[in-house]
Amino acid sequence: MIRRTKRSEFIGRRKTKPLKPAAAALMDQLLPQLKLDTAKPAPAELTTLFNGADSVFLEIGFGSGEHLLQRAEANPAVGFIGVEPFVNGLSQALVKIDAAKPGNIRLHDDDAGALLDWLPAGSLGRVFLLYPDPWPKFKHWKRRFVSQRNLDRIERALKPGGLFLFASDIEHYVGWTLNQCHDHQSFRWVASRANDWSQTEGGAFDGWPGTRYEAKAIRAGRQPSYLTFERVE
């Protein structure tokens, strides 16, 4: 079922099956502790949300949180903001976070575009968009997260030289993203070879822990692609 709300640009399902009691309890108890209060002005220095972290990274649509958590544990000096409006995925991530207690994760459970608008300009070192919904039907392409409007938002939030990292196993969405970033002209594709977009070996990002979406794609015989774009001045 597709839902639209006045307060959010998010399109898609918020929830499928009922939550288990333990997960529901974390939604009530842990999420309020980690959730960003976007009703208030953003801090001038985003790192203050993480006790003076060296940098802040953002993951848009983190699913059940395995990539977000592994990155946070491997990089304790970096603050991580994770966005996930889908309640079932968010609840699964909270179970992992509660067990690991990394201390450098904050969460946003609504529209990523609104969060990007809230963030201070030039406050992010990296933005991850990993295996987003491809909206494969032509009439739905306008719903894809990668768009000129959202690239404007990412550009504003990224520091000069910051990175936008995109992964997908849908060939057409990979091509779409390359074209959108090329047309935007504020992003330089960082590629080590001409066919970099089509390679998995050596093509995944530094410190890549893998995700369940990637494993699912490989099992289905689909080739994941990894694109890195640098925000240029």
**Catalytic sites, residue numbers:** 133
| Strand ranges in 102-206 using DSSP code E only, listed in sequence order | 105-108, 124-130, 158-168, 187-189
Q: How many residues does the chain have?
A: 233
Vertex 198 angle, CA 181 and 83, to 5°: 55
Bridge partners (DSSP) of residue 100 are none
Q: Are the C-beta atoms of 83 and 112 separated by less than 8 Å? A: yes
Buried b (16+ CB within 10 A) or exposed e, 82-109: bbbbbbbbbbbbbbbbeeeebebbbbbb
Q: How far is the C-alpha of 112 from the C-alpha of 184, rounded, in Å? A: 19
| Strand ranges in 155-224 using DSSP code E only, listed in sequence order | 158-168, 187-189
